[in-house]
Amino acid sequence: MLTAIRADLKIVKERDPAARGLLEILLCYPGVHALSIHRLSHKLWKAKLPIIPMKLLARLLSQLSRNLTGVEIHPGAQIGTGVFIDHGMGVVIGETTKIGNRCLLYQGVTLGGTGKEHGKRHPTLEENVVVGAGAKVLGAINVGENTRIGAGSVVVRDVEANSTVVGIPGRVVHQSGVKINPLAHSALPDAEAKVIRNLMNRIDELENQISALQTCLNEVSKENLQEEMRPNKSQSLKDREIMEFLGENTQN
The per-residue pLDDT for range 98-109, each reduced to its tens digit, is: 999 989 999 899
What's the confidence (pLDDT) of residue 216? 79
Q: Among 145, 165, 187, where does a domain finish?
A: 187
In a domain, 97, yes or no: yes
Query: Cα–Cα distance between 78 and 95 in angstroms, integer?
Result: 8
Query: Cα–Cα distance between 37 and 225 in angstroms, integer?
Result: 80
C-alpha dihedral sign at 131, 138, 126, 83: positive
Q: What is the mean predicted confidence (pLDDT) over 188-194?
A: 63
The torsion angles phi and psi of 143, rounded to 5 degrees, stand at: -110, 115
In a domain, 220, yes or no: yes
Query: Cα–Cα distance between 49 and 60 in angstroms, integer?
Result: 17
| Weakest mean pLDDT among 97-101, 156-160, 242-246 | 242-246
Domain that holds residue 69: 2-187
What's the confidence (pLDDT) of residue 193? 67
- Look up the CATH number of the domain holding residue 108: 2.160.10.10
- Same domain for 17 and 65, yes or no, is yes
What's the confidence (pLDDT) of residue 183? 53
Query: Cα–Cα distance between 58 and 195 in angstroms, integer?
Result: 48
Per-residue pLDDT of 210-239, as tens digits, reads 888 887 777 777 655 445 555 555 555 556
Task: Specify the amino acid at residue 199.
Answer: L
Under a CB-based contact definition with an 8 Å cutoff, are residues 156 and 139 in contact? yes
Q: What percent of the chain has pLDDT over 70?
A: 77
- Same domain for 107 and 218, yes or no, is no
* Residue 248 scores a pLDDT above 70: no
The torsion angles phi and psi of 165, rounded to 5 degrees, stand at: -120, 130
- Same domain for 110 and 222, yes or no, is no
Local structure of residue 129 (DSSP, 8 states): -
* Residue 177 scores a pLDDT above 50: no
Q: Compute the mean pLDDT over every residue in the chain, rounded to the nearest whole number.
A: 79
Q: What percent of the chain has pLDDT over 90?
A: 19
Q: What is the mean predicted confidence (pLDDT) over 11-26?
A: 78
> How many other CB atoms are there within 10 angstroms of residue 69's CB atom?
23
C-alpha dihedral sign at 29, 75, 146, 186: negative
Question: Please, what's the b/e burial string for 188-205 (b: 16 or more CB within 10 A of its CB; e: otherwise)?
Answer: beebeeeeeeeebeeeee
- Same domain for 144 and 239, yes or no, is no
Query: Cα–Cα distance between 110 and 179 in angstroms, integer?
Result: 26
